[in-house]
Structure 1
Amino acid sequence: MAKRRKIDNLLALAVLSVLVQRPMHPYEIATTLRGWGKDQDMGIKWGSFYTVVRNMERHGLIAAVESVREGRRPERTVYRITDSGRAELVDWTRELVSTPVAEQSRFRAGLSVLAALHPDEATALLRRRLELLEEELRAERATLAEHLRTLPRLFLVESEYDLAIREAEVAWIRALLAELTSGSYPGMDQWRAFHETGALPAEPGGPGERSDAAP
Structure 2
Amino acid sequence: MEKRRVANPLALAVLAFLLWEPMHPYELGRRLKETDKERSFKYNRGSLYMVVNQLRKAGFIVERETVRDTQRPERTVYELTGEGRAELYDWLRELVAQPQEEYPRFGAALSLLSVLAPDEAVELLGRRAEALDGQAEEIRGKVRQATEQGVAWVFLVEEEYRLEVLDAERRFVGRLVESLRDPAYGREWQRIFGSRA
Deviation digits for residues 147-175 of structure 1, max 9, x if unmatched?
Answer: 12220000010100000000000011111
CA distance in 2 between partners of 1:129 and 1:50 (Å):
35
Aligned equivalent of 1:210: none
Helix, strand or coil for the counterpart of 1:65? Answer: strand
> 2:169 maps to what in 1?
169
Structure 2 gap ranges (5+): none
Alignment correspondent of 2:189: 191
Structure number with higher helix proportion: 2
Conservation of the 8 A alpha-carbon contact between 1:134 and 1:170: yes
Task: State the 1:45 CA deviation.
Answer: 4.3
TM-score by length of 2: 0.92
Q: Which residue of 2 aligns with 1:208?
A: none
- Partners of 2:48 and 2:70 in 1: CA distance: 24
Partner of 1:131: 130
1:47 aligned onto 2:46: yes
Aligned sequence identity (%):
40
Contact 2:15 2:88 in 1 (8 A): yes
Cα shift readout 1:98-155 (whole Å, capped 9, x = no counterpart): 1111111111111111121111111111111111111221221122111122200000
What's the offset of the Cα at 1:195?
A: 3.8
Alignment-derived partner of residue 14 in structure 1: 13
Shift of residue 59, structure 1, vs aligned partner: 1.5
How do 1:113-132 residues align onto structure 2 when only pairs under 5 Å count?
A: 113-132=112-131
Deviations 1:4-54 (A, max 9, x none): 111111111111111111111111111111111222212224322222212
SS at 1:74 equivalent: strand
- Aligned residue pairs total 196
Which residue matches 1:144? Answer: 143
Return the letter of the residue paired with 1:62: I
TM-score (norm 1): 0.85
Answer yes or no: is the 8 Å Cα contact 1:119–1:192 preserved in 2. Answer: no
SS of residue paired to 2:101: coil
C-alpha distance in 1 between matches for 2:73 and 2:39: 29
Counterpart in 2 of 1:59? 58
| Counterpart secondary structure, 2:23 | coil
Taking the aligned partners of 1:20 and 1:197, their CA distance within structure 2 comes to 61
Aligned to 1:28, what secondary structure does the other structure show?
helix
Map 1:72-151; keep pairs closer than 5 Å. Answer: 72-149=71-148, 150-151=150-151
Q: Which amino acid aligns with 1:180?
A: L
Query: What code does the residue aligned with 1:154 have?
Result: V
Cα distance in 2 for partners of 1:57, 1:132 equals 41
